[in-house]
Structure 1
Amino acid sequence: MLKDTNLENIVDLYHQVLPLKQAFPTIMSLIIIAMTIPISSTTRERTFSKMKLIKTTTRNTMSDKRLNDLCVLEVERDFAIDFEQLMNDFADLHKNGRILLK
């Protein structure tokens, strides 16, 4: 099955094994974990440099939760969010216009 294919990266492997995820759940889990591992240390270095900017001496008294939330906002602020598409996707989830709470 896979020996005849030419896989160039982990994403290609994921797409090849995806139809067989019921047969190989552990392999699927390992592939997903491998896709989350950063290729280089630049992601971690960027995160720590952003944290240094946020955590100044005047803000040392903030709680860990607040520091974590501020770091996430700062690190991921480069990602553009299309709020119109987000609202449309959310509206499509609930066709009757109501959210049912269980």
Structure 2
Amino acid sequence: MEDVIPGRVRRTIDDEPQTYLHRFRTDIFYKELLTCIACLDPRDSFQTFDHEKLLRLAELYSDNFSGFDLGQLRIQLDWYISNMKSNEVFSGLRDIGELAKKMVTMKYHITYDLVYRLVELALVLPVATATIERSFSAMKFIKTDLRNKMGDNFLTDALVCYVEKDIFASVENEAILQRFQAM
């Protein structure tokens, strides 16, 4: 069989199960992440609130929460949910964005700083994911068969220019020429 299948194709076939395994693990990670984020939903008097899942969310964002923070978050979550359910101001909220605004208005983002950090992370996730997806979509236009040997730095620079083309379109060509002449 090794005589029939060239080495490059054989390596691709061997790598394929690893690719599917990585995608499967990534899908499981995002499913868990979204399930944990859903526990912050303020609708129906915080009906989906789950103490353990919110602690798990903090563990998933381990760069943002130290071991000490996790212990403090456990305590804050108890007080937070008790306070939210008893406070009439938080009863009519429809989504996490409104929750964040109301927490800032009521100064609860200071009182429950670790819970508010979870809320912020929940709000940033869709934006970060969309930005990454846009970058990968742009890559097919930048890294073509004719330009497949470009280095990482050049690829990164080209992708930034492509993704942020609206900003670059507002820069006058004359300003760019003068900048390069000055160099």
| TM-score class, shorter | 0.5 to 0.7
Tell me what 1:88 maps to.
none
SS at match of 1:57: coil
Report the residue type matching 1:10 in the other structure.
I
What residue number does 1:2 align with? Answer: 84
Distance (Å, rounded) in 1 between the aligned partners of 2:153 and 2:95: 36
Q: 1:78 to 1:27 in 2, by over 3 A?
A: farther
User: Any conservation in 2 of the 1:50–1:75 contact (CA below 8 Å)?
Assistant: yes
Q: Compare 66-75 and 4-13 and name the one that shifted more.
A: 66-75
Shift of 1:78: 4.6
Matched, 1:17 2:103: yes
Other-structure match for 2:164: 76
- Equivalences, count: 81
| TM-score between the two structures when normalised by the length of structure 1 | 0.57
Match of 2:144 among 56, 68, 74: 56
TM-score by length of 2: 0.36
User: How many Å separate the matches in 2 of 1:55 and 1:49?
Assistant: 11
- Structure with more contact order per residue of length (Cα contacts < 8 Å, sep ≥ 6): 1
For residues 33-60 of structure 1, give each alpha carbon's deviation from its aligned partner in whole angstroms, at most 9, with x where no partner exists: 1111128x76654432211111112322
Structure 2 unaligned blocks of 5 or more:
1-82, 172-183
Whole-Å Cα distance in 2 between the matches of residues 13 and 73 of structure 1?
Answer: 36
How far apart, CA to CA, are the structure 2 residues paired with 1:63 and 1:28? 40
User: Partner letter of residue 17 of structure 1?
Assistant: M
Greater share of helix: 2
Percent of pairs with identical residues: 34
Does structure 2 conserve the Cα–Cα contact (< 8 Å) formed by 1:50 and 1:71? Answer: yes
